[in-house]
Structures are given as structure tokens and as C-alpha cells.
A = this chain, B = another copy of it.
Amino acid sequence: MKQIMRFPRLDRRALLSSLAMLPFLSAALRSTSAVAQTQTGPLPSWNEGPTKASIVDFVARVTESGGPYFVPPDQRIATFDNDGTLWIEQPMYVQLAFALDRVKVLAPMHPEWKDKQPFAAVLNGDLKAFAASGEKGVAELVAVTHAGMTTAEFEKIVIDWLATARDVRFKRPYTELVYQPMLELLAYLRANGFKTFIVSGGGIEFMRPWTETIYGVPPEQVVGSSIKTRYEMRDSTPVLFRLPEIDFIDDKSGKPIGINSHIGRRPIAAFGNSDGDLEMLQWATLGTSGARFGLIVHHTDAEREYAYDRQSHFGKLDVALDAAAVNRWTVVDMKKDWKRIFPFE
């Protein structure tokens, strides 16, 4: 019977160090830096064309000292969605895969789950029945898989899961299923004085343990959905205990609110892939003067990754795709614009 263990003295530094040691991560990082070293221009995994040109033109404008569109470095804020923008979100959100796996790990301690939804559905691998449990089911799933432990314990659980979990199609760790062109874009923006933030509907504490290693985005630059925590002293050691209560949903109109709360400035560039990113893209680009940049990753490559948009269960792209045309946001045609999808290719 597996229990959630306590690691009262476990700190993020030790966790990140051990995370960095994991071979799969090292491989991903080597792969990235190898590209950076062997290519001369920026964005080597982007094919030449209007999409790449729109990025390079925007960066040239806002960094041109004395130019009409110059933006001082401290105001070069760029926000990135995560699921479907920086890493894979099919056949389901990675965090949902985590929660489903977690139910299986915890099931021996909860024999009653065999007859109780949504857990029975999860244990039977019946995603339709799980979906039928609706928001209440999701809330119960989050409560048992994401709450009831300290923040340090949860971090350890996430790191341990990522080290062993494998995507069903690519048979690889999820942290390898990140988009090489977007890694290059993050690095390119930072090299041009931008501060890069993640602004995701995903859980903030689910992302922070690995975003610095994988994306170069430190924990303080990650914005996401959250549950409430309670501060406690346990044997002279302070902990934050995760409660089964939603604190904030960083999706749709929650994204500008989360950006305002965490960053306190409007981004000048925003990157997303779904209707959940519409308001973030609006907040970054509309009703302000100066150069602004919005970009939507359109998943069009069923062969190398996936092709989905208006009808997708995860990462539905419908209203935001229409809005892109109106607002002159760049739309990435993954199949056409990306030379390479994943770092391991």
C-alpha cells in the first residue's frame, strides 16, 4: 500500500538538481543546445515565410533603439500558454493523465472507489463515464489527486510521475513532447531582452517544478490555475498544505486577470493555441499604441503531431481562429511552418 510521504526538509533546489540529472531531460537539453550551436540564424526550426518573418519583424521593431516602436527591455513582457502551445495536449491534457494515474496509485487505500464515480470510471479506463461525471467529477478528481498534501510533497509527486510516465503514442516522457520551434522562440525573445512568462490554464504547481529546466522559465514567471493552501507550523517547520478548494482558474477571461495579478503589466506579445487564450491575446494586443504581437499555434500536422481545431475536446480553437484574422494575429500552420516539431526528431 503506497502512501503519500512527507518530505519536510525537501527543498526546491534539491528537487531541481535531481530533476536536472534525469537522463531524458539532459537529452532534451542537449538536443536544444546542439541546434543552437550548429545553426547561425535565430529560429532554425522555423521554415522561412511570412510566419517566421512576422516574429522577426516584430522583435526588430521593438528592439530598435531610437525607432518609433522601441520598447524598453523592462516592458518587453511575453506570455505563453502551455498546453498545446509549448507542449502536447492530445489525446488529453498531460495534467489529466497525471490525475488519472494518481487515482490508480491511490486506489489501494480507497477500496470504496470501485463503486464510486468518478473513480470507478477512471479505474476502469472508461473516459466516457468519467466525462459524464461532469464538473463535480473533475472537482472530486482534483481534490483527491492535487490536495491533501504539502506543496513540497506535491512537487515531489509531480517530479516522480514525470520521470516515469510515458505518452501513449510517442512512448516518451511528456517533458520531451515540447515543441522545438517554441523552445527556440522563447530563447530568441529572451536573447532580445524579453521576460518570458507562462500563463496556462494548467495547475501552477504542476508546472513550476520543471518549467525552468525545460523552458528556461523560472517558477516566479509561471502563472496558472491554483487551489487554496493553508499555512501551518509542523514541529517548528512551516508548511503550506494544499486544500481541496479552487482558488483561481487561469483560463479565458481569467488569463488577463492572472496576468494582472502576477505580472502587473500588459504583455506586448502573447502566444496561445486555443479559445482559452483569446482574452490573453486581446489583453496583449488590443486598444494600446505601439507594436504588439499575437500568435496562435494551429495544429495542422496529423502525421508528425496532431491536427485539430474547431471540434476538439482539448484545445478547441474556434472563436480565437476567427479573431486572429480580424486582429492580425499570426497563425502558425504547424505542418507548413515548422521544420521540426520535437527536440528528439
A positions within 8 Å CB-CB of B: 8-9, 11-13, 71-72, 74-75, 77, 151, 195, 204-205, 208, 212, 218-222, 226, 229-231, 233, 236-238, 240, 247, 253, 256-257, 260-266, 279, 282-283, 286-290
Q: How far is the CA of A11 from the CA of B75 in the complex (A)?
A: 11
As for how many copies of this chain the complex holds, the number is 2
Given contacts A226-B261, A240-B257, contact A13 B231 (CB under 8 A): no
Looking at chain A's contact residues, is the secondary structure mostly helix, strand, loop, or mixed?
mixed
Q: How far is the CA of A195 from the CA of B8 in the complex (A)?
A: 25
Nearest chain B residue, comparing its CB with the CB of A212: B74
Q: A264 to B229, Cβ gap below 8 A?
A: no
Q: B220 to A11, Cβ gap below 8 A?
A: no
Given contacts A263-B220, A265-B220, contact A9 B238 (CB under 8 A): no
Shortest CB-to-CB span from A325 to chain B, Å, is 15
Q: A219 to B253, Cβ gap below 8 A?
A: no
Q: B236 to A287, Cβ gap below 8 A?
A: yes
Q: Which of B247, B260, B262, B287 contacts A237 (CB 8 A)?
A: B287
Q: B261 to A11, Cβ gap below 8 A?
A: no
Q: How far is the CA of A238 from the CA of B270 in the complex (A)?
A: 14
Q: B74 to A218, Cβ gap below 8 A?
A: yes
Shortest CB-to-CB span from A223 to chain B, Å, is 9
Nearest chain B residue, comparing its CB with the CB of A288: B11
Q: B219 to A231, Cβ gap below 8 A?
A: no
Given contacts A238-B283, A279-B231, contact A9 B264 (CB under 8 A): no
Contacts of A247 in B (CB 8 A): 261
Shortest CB-to-CB span from A193 to chain B, Å, is 13
Q: What are 5 A-B pairs at a CB distance below 8 A? A: A9-B288, A219-B264, A219-B265, A220-B221, A231-B253
Give the most central of A9, A212, A230, A260: most B CB within 10 Å. Answer: A260
Q: How far is the CA of A299 from the CA of B286 in the complex (A)?
A: 47
Contacts of A72 in B (CB 8 A): 13
Given contacts A74-B212, A287-B9, contact A282 B220 (CB under 8 A): no
